[in-house]
Amino acid sequence: MKEDKMIRKAVERDLAGIAGIYEAIIDQEEKNAASIGWKRGVYPTEDTARQALNRGDLYVMEADGQTIVGSAIINQVQVAEYANCPWQYPAAEKDVLVLHTLVVDPAQSKNGCGRSFVNFYEELAREAGIRYLRMDTNVRNEVARAFYRKMGYKEPGIVSCVFNGIEGVQLVCLEKKLEEVI
């Protein structure tokens, strides 16, 4: 039976589920089953999700109306490191929508959840009349990089930085220009 999944704004009761996904991904990294570049207790944490919830820019994907299987932060906040990227499409902050901390429960990988979340993000941009999309990932995260390439995102630059408290990050900046907006 196919699970029914939907994306919606997060609410307080979703935080534990989101934090559980963060921990499951970090567990995989610590077992060398994934290479994301995150650190337990540093980034991301339940507080990362709580701050986004409080700002109103945290979204979740739930399965069958109850289980959180994915999460992302979507807003117009471009992290400071983006200033060091040679963007192909220079744009004012008001003209850019940014996807942060997209996660899918490892138990749901290969089920189209990531693709659905990116499609949702792009649709939000279209509805808001925003043409430029940006996001980032760690250079170590080859799975995400390949996924975003398949979704039409380009890598205009890699920025060396301390990112969200994690030292030595090679931050891959990604962008896409939407051809059609509403």
* Residue among 117, 158, 151, 142 at smallest CA distance from 21: 117
Instruction: Give domain status of residue 50, yes or no.
Output: yes
Confidence check: pLDDT of 181 > 80: no
The Cα angle at residue 147 between residues 155 and 93, in degrees rounded to 5: 45
The region of weakest confidence among 7-11, 29-33, 70-74, 154-158 is: 29-33
- For residue 1, name the pLDDT band (cuts at 50, 70, 90): very low
pLDDT in tens, 40-56: 999 999 999 999 999 99
Which SS3 state, helix, strand or coil, does residue 77 take?
Answer: coil
Q: Kindly report the average pLDDT of the chain as a whole number.
A: 94
pLDDT of residue 3: 59
**Host H or E run for residue 99:** strand 96-104
- For residue 65, name the pLDDT band (cuts at 50, 70, 90): confident
Q: Are strands 132-138 and 96-104 parallel, antiparallel or unpaired?
A: parallel
User: CB of 86 within 8 A of CB of 156?
Assistant: yes
H-only helix segments in 4-162: 15-30, 46-55, 113-128, 142-150
* CATH number, domain containing residue 157: 3.40.630.30
Instruction: Give domain status of residue 182, yes or no.
Output: no
Which SS3 state, helix, strand or coil, does residue 39 take?
Answer: strand
Which range of residues forms the domain containing residue 64?
5-177
Instruction: Give domain status of residue 22, yes or no.
Output: yes
Which SS3 state, helix, strand or coil, does residue 45 take?
Answer: coil
User: CB of 83 within 8 A of CB of 36?
Assistant: no
Tally of domains within the chain: 1
DSSP 66: T
Confidence check: pLDDT of 149 > 60: yes
Evaluate if pTM is beyond 0.85: yes
